[in-house]
A and B are shown apart, each in its own frame.
Chain A
Amino acid sequence: MSEQSGKQLSKEEKDARFEAELLPVLDPLYNFAYRLTLDEDDANDLVQETYLKAYRFFDYFEQGTNAKAWLFRILKNSFINEFRKKSKQPAKVDYSEVEGYYNSEDVEGESGVATTTDMRTESVQDLIGDEVASALNALPVDFRTVIILCDLEGFTYEEMAKILDIPIGTVRSRLHRARNSLKEKLEKYAKTMGYNS
């Protein structure tokens, strides 16, 4: 038994605590990784790496504190250090690859627009969902990140500042610009579909 720290746990205890506190974050964490990398395999690798790092530093994690923010921060740093270097070009999303993940039933045609006349609510939701995803993925990664963290994961500005290691003022201004960018992209789509903005 190690004498280094008074709160040294046995491996079993550590693993149990790790699984209980950190594994539940897997779903949002994977989603975040996917939004950053736009690639399933990369997202997979990124998430694994994140959990391994978290495990290595688990002694530094105060039990009961914000596990989600802590993991998101580790993942974001891993992404910047390892993955951003890899992809120099904006990643292209191959929708045929990810279509299996989505619950789209009536989506037909190459453009993914439902051509059935029966525009059930579900199909419209899918359309909207696909377009929002498309617009979001087209944003620069920094913009995409703040929108995901704020609007999808519901982090507060303060949490976002900690995750991203930037001042709250920067969080706000970046979010503001990101939203304007997203709005522009979606308005373009709305116009091409014939909706009045």
Chain B
Amino acid sequence: MESKFTEVYQNAPAEGKETECEKVSKLLDLVIDGEATSEDQQYFNHHIEECIPCFESHQKQKLLKGLVSGHLKRVIVPISLAHLIKAKIQETL
């Protein structure tokens, strides 16, 4: 029960593109985390310009990271804790 889109991808220059997508998906986390070399970054950017599934994966992964970095609630440090630590430090020789 494959959609039209899947057929299109299968008709694409098969072997080259498949290996490229695999290569690119290995770079995904590196790119998201700013750990990719500029060469790999450029390669990645170029690929997602012409590959919808990889582009979508990138969007999804960015979203996932954003949920944590932007939406995760931070707990508030109890005010007393800083004082307590300072006090203990001062006591310690």
Contact = CB atoms under 8 A, between A and B. Distances in A.
B75 to A, nearest CB: 5
Contact of A179 (B64, B77, B78): B64
A123 to B, nearest CB: 13
B4 interface: no
Given A98-B75, A101-B75, A175-B29, A48 B69 contact: no
B73 A51 contact: no
A15 B72 contact: no
Given A15-B90, A26-B85, A128-B67, A172 B29 contact: yes
B81 A44 contact: yes
A83 interface: no
Contact of B92 (A27, A55, A172, A179): A55
Contacts of A23: 82, 85-86
B75 A34 contact: yes
Contacts of A176: 29
B72 A133 contact: yes
A8 to B, nearest CB: 13
Interface of B: 29-30, 33, 35, 60-61, 64-65, 67-69, 71-78, 81-82, 84-86, 88-90, 92-93
Given A31-B74, A132-B73, A186-B67, 18 more contacts: A27-B77, A30-B75, A40-B78, A47-B81, A52-B88, A52-B92, A55-B92, A132-B68, A136-B72, A148-B68, A154-B69, A156-B33, A172-B30, A175-B29, A175-B33, A176-B29, A179-B64, A182-B68
